[in-house]
Structure 1
Amino acid sequence: MNHHHNHNPRILILGAGPTGLGAAYRLRELGYTNLLMVDRHPYLGGLAHSFTDPQGFTWDIGGHVMFSHYDYYDRVFDRLMGDHFTLNNRESWVRIAGTWVPYPFQNNIRYLPKDLAYECIAGVIKAQTVAGGVKDAIARAANFAEFCRAVFGPGICRHFMDPYNFKVWAHPLESMNKTWIGERVAVIDIDRALRNLVLGLDDYGWGPNNKFKFPLTGGTGEFYNRFGPVLKGSYNLNRNAVAIHISEKKIRFSDGSIEPYDILISTVPVDWLVNSLLVGHVPDLVRHQAARLLHSSGHMVGIGLRRDGGTPSSKCWMYFPESNCPFYRVTYLSNYSPHMTPDRDRYFSLLCETSASAHKPVNPATIVEDTIQGLINAGLLEPADRDAIVSTWHYHADYSYPVPSVERDDILADVIPWLERHSIYSRGRFGMWKYEVSNTDHSLMQGVELVNRLLLGQPEHTIGIVYKVTDDGMQHARGVTTMVTCGVVIILAQI
């Protein structure tokens, strides 16, 4: 690899979340030593880090689950975790009209009150039997809102898709593109939906093959913490980058220190990279485009409760489209491992996620109380359970979801190649801004694949993944042995 005259270029990695860790791990695995990974936090893992509060409850930043996606990722997990993990059944539900509807939603509308069930099924039938065919209707859709209408019809959109997705993305569905979905939802099996409704059949999206791994102790973050010893000597924590000098190839940090680089792998949000960190000549177009990227922020609220017998339910996670609670998703985190609470037989924990943006303001000062009241409104807690709350935890993620906006792909087409011409490779959840490939495993593999490209000349796969739907509502990527964690109708909330 000819970089300047330097055959052993200095590779600097900005950010020690899954993408940075994947890149550093792969470099070290290939015997490469001229690298440094830096992060502003005192810990590894970025948004995949976990925190244990003073009461002894462990909290993740959002509901992370580990499905088996990539052989390489699985091998790294095996190497670092051994048998230090639990295997859990994936059991997810939607809370709507005062009742629990099993996932996938469209196959279980029999659980709804009859008038809603009729409205939903009638809308699906109309949408799927439209003159000219549903494929044409999808092709005509100009954005995500029109796409949903074309696939699901007005009933499911009104009661579930529209309110739920606004709660998740905190942006109008009209401002989102339809390409991030790939081919995930092209067809709903009307016959199956109708049969289940009329014959009263259950159709669960979980079963013997729907298990996921979770670290036995320490939450999701335990896996990423374990990269520490392996990467010893290759990273610094508590170093906050404040300026990247493009022409000199130097990064300045808040303590005044400077690090040179030949190649920069950046996992920081690309809008912030371009408009707050880069110093030197950046074309107006690139700065303007990067500034147009949309994201939501997130409030993660953990509620730890005392209860004889521990967790009161076998549910894993639940979706909440309605306005009687601020959160879009709640996870029984205490079901993921017996060590997420001080004592599995005497406590349980609920992790609640709420999105925020200029379109959907959230008051940080009241979000914990709003969450508790929401849990009562939504039927997860009784008013009397307030007395059983022994711990509350609140984390604000300024960047939570990269919104796949209508303009996003055009923006990336201008920004990413320009950065690469200046030896800056932007990858990861907010480095590449592709929500569709920003699960923790995708993110780690973006780092690994970039290193394979830079050192071995191999093509990157993940950042251009195309999806194909399978019968069980799980997604398989074409040409890559991977699976995405999001089912057909819960359009992609399961980060």
Structure 2
Amino acid sequence: MHEVGFLILGAGPCGLGAARQLEHCGVGSWLLIDSAQGPGGLASSFVDDQGFTWDVGGHVQFSHYEYFDLAMDEFLGPDGWNDHQRESWVWMRDRFVPYPFQNNLHRLPPGERDRCFEGLVAASATRGPAATDFLAWIRSTFGEGIAEGFMEPYNVKVWAHPLNLLSTSWMGERVALPDVDRVRRGIETGHDDVSWGPNNTFRFPKRGGTGAIWQACAERLPRERLRFGDRVQAIDLGDRSVTLSSGERIGYQHLISTMPLSELVRVSGQEHLAASADRGLLHSSSNIVGLGMRGQPPEALRTKCWLYFPEGNTPFYRATVFSNYAVSNVPRPGETWSLMCEVAESAYRSVDQRTLLDDVVRGVLSTGFVRDARDIVSTWSHRAAFGYPTPGLHRDETLAEIIPFFEGYGVFSRGRFGMWRYEVSNQDHSFMQGVEVVERLVNSRQEITAFDPDHANSRRHPWPFEKWES
């Protein structure tokens, strides 16, 4: 049996971050394994038969960490990026409403605008008990008009779960809280309020899609320590070994796992944790449908980044004008453009794979952004079985039980689905979880991102972390 000091499962941002930091720390005994044929995980990119580039969802690059930004510049070079000002919009009632919706009620038809604002005022004046689930929080925070018109239908499409099954502990910087006076001023002046959020500016690779970042990261690591195309069949916690689909067994001192935590429970045979995992680790699948079009985007989409769709006439909750991110995302810039649509799926929201493409095309045609299906010259689709780690009501208590259990056996579950914390699951968060767990194991430093999301998202972090210097 081959043995290593550190075994890493998964070559997404988290696993690659861990591998890179092991190299930086001078640790030579490590191996990274991924069942895919190359690096990237959910941050991979693909090129279809017609030459259109696609991501696995609407990824954009923004960061809370100096370390991450320096790494990104190293991977692609400081000139390897396009810088963008976010233009995100809600498409509803046959019109564009700037994001965040709740800050831009002046764009609605007058009757709905007034109903939304009156509900917001009433909700703000009511001081009831703290909401214990996301649905109750929406209604008590925004009032009836905003809840029924946008927040509830949109979030049901995104999460693909009943909203009363979601907690409120994850929101932080993910949901814009309403300021009644600010909304009132917007209604009076007609001024769009679009600056909220950590991603109001972002950058994107000039070539190769998001996957180019992680391909470049992997290329800087020793090739002999990266193994692709081999799947984990079983993990023996007692003798600290992993059995692969090839039949090979690999021993480890420390295992850094980025596989979904529910899968870690399964492949390690921990049946006593299965009920807790089933109860607390909810998730949705992501269906990505890419449409490559001839011509140029319509004037209404010429500068837009992505659009949200709360209404029922489209199966997708978000569409990204992917050709606007980088001209290299299409085969003939100026003559072709692309739209990437995302459809959520779960046990509560089924998706018929046989009709998905046609359903998406019908939805796009219903918006008027594409007027003739004959302009679609390429289609591409991808299903990620694990797309969103849903912040369910029992997630935190499940994590409090399962994460320490595995750490007692030298197994450290991190990353988007390894830690299952949506609030720290972007690329920067996931990468830094890998970096930080290595710093903990090699240099006895405190992990921040995985265990203190509020602090992680509250500021920009220098390197070394400010908490390490105190």
TM-score by length of 2: 0.93
Residue 439 of structure 2 corresponds to which residue in structure 1? 452
Residue 283 of structure 2 corresponds to which residue in structure 1? 295
Aligned match of 1:212 in 198, 202, 222?
202
**What is the CA-CA distance between 1:199 and the residue it aligns to?**
2.8
Residue 20 of structure 1 corresponds to which residue in structure 2? 15
Q: Please, which runs of 5 or more residues in structure 1 have no aligned partner?
A: 1-7, 469-474, 483-495
Residue 377 of structure 1 corresponds to which residue in structure 2? 366
Aligned match of 1:424 in 411, 420, 430?
411
**What is the CA-CA distance between 1:337 and the residue it aligns to?**
0.6
Cα contact 1:69–1:481 (8 A) shared by 2 = no
Change (3 A) 1:283 1:308: closer
Residue 143 of structure 2 corresponds to which residue in structure 1? 153
**What is the CA-CA distance between 1:67 and the residue it aligns to?**
1.1
Determine the C-alpha separation between the residues in 2 that align with 1:309 and 1:100.
16
Determine the C-alpha separation between the residues in 1 that align with 2:74 and 2:68.
10
SS at match of 1:352: strand
Cα contact 1:429–1:443 (8 A) shared by 2 = yes
Change (3 A) 1:462 1:307: same
Change (3 A) 1:199 1:88: closer
Deviations 1:448-484 (A, max 9, x none): 000010001111110133448xxxxxx95158469xx
Residue 163 of structure 1 corresponds to which residue in structure 2? 153
Residue 214 of structure 2 corresponds to which residue in structure 1? 224
Residue 110 of structure 2 corresponds to which residue in structure 1? 114
Cα contact 1:151–1:186 (8 A) shared by 2 = no
Cα contact 2:64–2:457 (8 A) shared by 1 = no
Residue 252 of structure 1 corresponds to which residue in structure 2? 243
Residue 315 of structure 1 corresponds to which residue in structure 2? 304
Change (3 A) 1:350 1:254: same
Determine the C-alpha separation between the residues in 2 that align with 1:296 and 1:303.
23
Residue 169 of structure 2 corresponds to which residue in structure 1? 179
Aligned match of 1:464 in 430, 451, 464?
451
Q: In the alignment, is residue 238 of structure 1 matched against residue 229 of structure 2?
A: yes
Cα contact 2:205–2:326 (8 A) shared by 1 = yes
Determine the C-alpha separation between the residues in 2 that align with 1:227 and 1:184.
28
Aligned match of 2:423 in 429, 432, 436?
436
Determine the C-alpha separation between the residues in 2 that align with 1:327 and 1:187.
25
What letter is aligned with 1:100? F
Determine the C-alpha separation between the residues in 2 that align with 1:42 and 1:92.
34
What letter is aligned with 1:353? E
SS at match of 1:462: coil
- The count of residues paired between Structure 1 and Structure 2 equals 456
**What is the CA-CA distance between 1:308 and the residue it aligns to?**
4.9
Residue 341 of structure 2 corresponds to which residue in structure 1? 352
Determine the C-alpha separation between the residues in 2 that align with 1:55 and 1:184.
36
What letter is aligned with 1:339? S
Q: In the alignment, is residue 42 of structure 1 matched against residue 37 of structure 2?
A: yes
Aligned match of 1:67 in 58, 62, 75?
62
Determine the C-alpha separation between the residues in 2 that align with 1:466 and 1:216.
30
Q: In the alignment, is residue 477 of structure 1 matched against residue 465 of structure 2?
A: no
Determine the C-alpha separation between the residues in 2 that align with 1:351 and 1:184.
22
Cα contact 1:94–1:102 (8 A) shared by 2 = yes
Change (3 A) 1:19 1:326: same
Residue 81 of structure 1 corresponds to which residue in structure 2? 76
What letter is aligned with 1:371? V
Determine the C-alpha separation between the residues in 1 that align with 2:80 and 2:196.
24
Provide the aligned C-alpha RMSD in A: 2.0
**What is the CA-CA distance between 1:198 and the residue it aligns to?**
2.5
Cα contact 1:466–1:478 (8 A) shared by 2 = no
Cα contact 1:90–1:206 (8 A) shared by 2 = no
SS at match of 1:226: helix
Determine the C-alpha separation between the residues in 2 that align with 1:402 and 1:340.
28
Cα contact 1:93–1:101 (8 A) shared by 2 = yes
Cα contact 2:103–2:178 (8 A) shared by 1 = no
Determine the C-alpha separation between the residues in 2 that align with 1:402 and 1:262.
28
Counterparts of residues 324-403 of structure 1 (less than 5 Å): 324-382=313-371, 384=372, 386-403=373-390
What letter is aligned with 1:214? F
What letter is aligned with 1:96? M
Change (3 A) 1:348 1:254: same
**What is the CA-CA distance between 1:309 and the residue it aligns to?**
7.5
Change (3 A) 1:117 1:408: same
SS at match of 2:192: coil
Determine the C-alpha separation between the residues in 1 that align with 2:260 and 2:57.
18
Change (3 A) 1:309 1:143: closer
Change (3 A) 1:289 1:195: same
Determine the C-alpha separation between the residues in 1 that align with 2:173 and 2:36.
38
Aligned match of 1:410 in 397, 420, 436?
397
Determine the C-alpha separation between the residues in 1 that align with 2:67 and 2:390.
28
**Mean Cα deviation higher: 229-238 or 423-432:** 229-238
What letter is aligned with 1:89? Q
Deviations 1:136-182 (A, max 9, x none): x3x52110111111111111110111010010000000000000113
Determine the C-alpha separation between the residues in 2 that align with 1:445 and 1:308.
38
Determine the C-alpha separation between the residues in 1 that align with 2:316 and 2:174.
25
Deviations 1:303-357 (A, max 9, x none): 0000058985110011001100000000000000110000111000000000001
Determine the C-alpha separation between the residues in 2 that align with 1:422 and 1:466.
25
SS at match of 2:170: helix
Determine the C-alpha separation between the residues in 2 that align with 1:407 and 1:206.
30
Cα contact 1:184–1:467 (8 A) shared by 2 = no
Change (3 A) 1:283 1:40: closer
What letter is aligned with 1:251? V
What letter is aligned with 1:170? A
Cα contact 1:310–1:344 (8 A) shared by 2 = no
Residue 123 of structure 2 corresponds to which residue in structure 1? 127
Residue 261 of structure 2 corresponds to which residue in structure 1? 270
